[in-house]
Structure 1
Amino acid sequence: MGRRGGMGKTLVALAVLCLPAFPAHPALSADPVVKGPERGALVIVGGGRVGPEILTRFFDLAGGRDAPLVVIPTANGADTFPDDWSGLKMFKDFGVTTITLLHTTDRKIADSEEFVRPITTARAVWFPGGRQWRLVDSYLHTRTQREIERVLERGGVVGGSSAGASILASYMVRGARENNDIMMAPGYEEGFGLIKGVAIDQHMLTRNRQDDLEEVVAKHPDVLGIGLDESTAIVVRGQQFEVTGASKVAIHDGRIVKGAQERHGKKYFFMAPGERYDLTKLERIGKANRSEQP
């Protein structure tokens, strides 16, 4: 069984935090179209326990549990991450054989060829939870981000949970350094844009956040708001996603003011596991055909 440097090989680079200066959110005005990845897939989880159903989908899309996986835990905020870091346990318990842990807070290092080398051969990248502003400070608009995009271009899979979910969207919510109750934080509204025209919130029902995306879509009606409950994911392939896991997903669409979203005075609706959504038509399209899944 092939392994790149063995289980839990750690490549860690630490330095003093450099705060980047980014435009408020160029992607919103430039391309408001909701768009999933042209190739590859995203597995976006709302925090909490990542169950076997979600992990199975993730590694099926990666090509199996032997597929090279890169885990980027920077959102956690720790200075260092040892080989036996607890955040890797779910992958090891699931039988994943090739894991590389990548972490830096130095943007110059994140822009270096040496740092990104493990990503160039990865079939899967995963972002655990924490605070998403740390991912912005370290990786936004660096070579690291570009190589993550290339994982998708090669047909691989990128996933994340909690903060690692919100960073994957083009519009990033809860990015304030002060606390994570602020939905729209100037200077921290741009995510990696692996799914465009979208804002992703997490821990939705568990933390009673189901209404929180309304202020985002009210200010930015071209942004589709997706709220994920814990232990629940969307699997995005092209212009569709499917809900999987234990709970529900809420869809906030500021462009729709009639019909089902106005029931009970709410401008959103819930989707259950197995249901699919069309990112082009911006509508629910029914349950997935299991024979079509990887």
Structure 2
Amino acid sequence: MRIASLILTAFAVITSAQPILNGTNGTYIGPENGHLVIVGGNLKSDSIWERIISLAGGPDAPIVVIPTAGGEPTYSANFSSAESLRRLGAKNVTVLHTYNPTVADTDEFIAPLLEAKGIFFGGGRQWRLVDAYAGTKTEKAFQAVLDRGGVISGSSAGASIQASFLARGDTADNQVIIGDHTVGFGYLKNAAVDQHVLVRNRQFDLFNVTRAYPEILGVGIDEDTALIVHQNEAEVFGSTYVLIYDGKFWSREGSELKNPPAEKFYFLKSGDKYDLGTRQVIVTNSTGGGDDY
């Protein structure tokens, strides 16, 4: 009995050290219904905002903006992300916020989410979203938006929270990429999302995650650029690049003569597509290389 008890204790210690990866749908890496719009921060392009509105169902679709990651004491209906959506034609935008998980677990608080067709998570510190909403009726209501075919979107912290592994979730310092919060909301399963990647020279940081958890797909998204996900298809949309950390290397001009290092990543540009299930670039005529030098 003592040996069995020691084995169980050791197993509990080992498993408790691993991040629990949210997401219950085993068929797809992304949402079976609906879309994700994962933005790498500093969202300026009207085209990305317009894509969010379109995927939500158009100008009349109810969209809920969650500014909680920002850390301000209160937020008004005129929060900047809500104003951007309204400026581009969204007619039914609600700002919803609390830091109190007890409040987030009430029917009264989640009422605006029950009919929502879109959600936008603002930037800041992603652990604040976990502390406020994880395990509450609000988190379930977020998921329900996807389940009925809506869109979940977010920028910066609002990008990282969408993955199952929460990168930069440390309460003390956002430079710690594996911090004291490692579980995101899991709309993109078995993955970690980093943001502001090229602007802040973060392109090597996700190796800390993939070394510790080799099964996790690393996705780095630069500013004003989105990865749009439905089921297993991910498309780059925006002004710069998405970086993929899947243990392989890919180049649109071919990889045979390349000499990448042991730890690899590669770039995808706007219009490129990636299969999250097979972890391969979806090669089309527009993806392949040309004769330009």
Q: TM-score, normalised by structure 2?
A: 0.84
Question: Contact 1:70–1:101 at 8 Å: present in 2 too?
Answer: yes
Question: Contact 2:169–2:177 at 8 Å: present in 1 too?
Answer: yes
Aligned partner of 2:13 in structure 1 is none
Question: Displacement, 1:56?
Answer: 2.1
Match of 2:136 among 131, 142, 166: 142
Q: In the alignment, is residue 103 of structure 1 matched against residue 97 of structure 2?
A: yes
Question: Displacement, 1:284?
Answer: 0.3
Question: Displacement, 1:74?
Answer: 0.3
Question: Contact 1:42–1:235 at 8 Å: present in 2 too?
Answer: yes
Q: In the alignment, is residue 125 of structure 1 matched against residue 119 of structure 2?
A: yes
2:96 is paired with a residue of what secondary structure? strand
Match of 1:183 among 177, 188, 197: 177
Deviations 1:106-134 (A, max 9, x none): 11111111111110100000001000010
How do residues 1-294 of structure 1 correspond to structure 2 at under 5 angstroms?
A: 25-27=19-21, 35-186=29-180, 188-254=181-247, 256=248, 260=255, 263-265=259-261, 266-286=263-283
CA distance in 1, matches of 2:189, 2:199: 26
CA RMSD of aligned residues (A): 2.4
Question: Displacement, 1:61?
Answer: 1.0
CA distance in 1, matches of 2:274, 2:250: 18
2:110 is paired with a residue of what secondary structure? helix
1:217 is paired with a residue of what secondary structure? helix
2:202 is paired with a residue of what secondary structure? coil
Question: Displacement, 1:90?
Answer: 1.3
Deviations 1:3-62 (A, max 9, x none): xxxxxxxxxxxxxxxxxxx9852228x999971111110000000124122122211111
Q: TM-score, normalised by structure 1?
A: 0.84
Question: Contact 1:275–1:288 at 8 Å: present in 2 too?
Answer: no
* 76 and 288 in structure 1: CA distance in 2 versus 1, 3 angstrom threshold: farther
Q: Which amino acid aligns with 1:92?
A: R
Q: Which amino acid aligns with 1:194?
A: Y
2:283 is paired with a residue of what secondary structure? strand
* 51 and 288 in structure 1: CA distance in 2 versus 1, 3 angstrom threshold: farther
Number of equivalences: 265
Question: Displacement, 1:89?
Answer: 2.4
Pick which of 32-41 and 169-178 moved more: 32-41
* 258 and 61 in structure 1: CA distance in 2 versus 1, 3 angstrom threshold: closer
Deviations 1:95-114 (A, max 9, x none): 21111111011111111111
Deviations 1:235-292 (A, max 9, x none): 00111110000000000014x4899598442510100000000011100003599xxx
Query: Unaligned regions of 5+ residues in structure 2, if any?
Result: 1-15, 287-293
Question: Contact 2:65–2:81 at 8 Å: present in 1 too?
Answer: no
1:215 is paired with a residue of what secondary structure? helix
